[in-house]
Amino acid sequence: MGIDPRDRRIAKLLLWIRQNGRCHYCGDYLDPPDMTIDHMTPRCLGGADALANMAGACYRCNQEKHERRYWNYLRYRRKRGEVI
């Protein structure tokens, strides 16, 4: 079903505030319009379309995570030698 676009803007702002303006995965600072909404457990894997299942992410991290679960993505990044 998805989130209404007006609610999506509010969700993005709440995530930006909750995360101190940083990407949940790489920690880079983001301006609110540049933040994307990522579902930590993807909807295709049964994740809820709820704020508790959302994280603000930069475009690169969101695309790279794709349909992985949160912990699988972190494991993937550790294997590549990235500091998390």
Q: What is the CATH number of the domain that holds 61?
A: 1.10.30.50
Q: How many CB atoms lie within 10 A of CB 35?
A: 23
Please give the residue range of the domain that contains residue 18. 5-79
Burial class of residue 71 (count of CB atoms within 10 Å of its CB; 0-12, 13-18, 19+): exposed
Q: How many CB atoms lie within 10 A of CB 52?
A: 6
Per-residue pLDDT reduced to its tens digit, 32-62: 999 999 999 999 999 998 889 999 999 999 9
pTM of the model: 0.83
Total of domains in the chain: 1
* Residue 39 maps to a domain: yes
* Residue 59 maps to a domain: yes
Provide Rg for the chain, Cα atoms. Answer: 12
* Residue 84 maps to a domain: no
* Residue 25 maps to a domain: yes
* Residue 42 maps to a domain: yes
Indicate if the alpha-carbon torsion angle 32, 70, 53, 65 is positive or negative. positive
Under DSSP, the state recorded for 50 is: S
Kindly indicate the confidence band of residue 5, based on its pLDDT and cuts at 50, 70 and 90.
low
Per-residue pLDDT reduced to its tens digit, 6-26: 688 889 999 999 999 999 999
* Residue 33 maps to a domain: yes
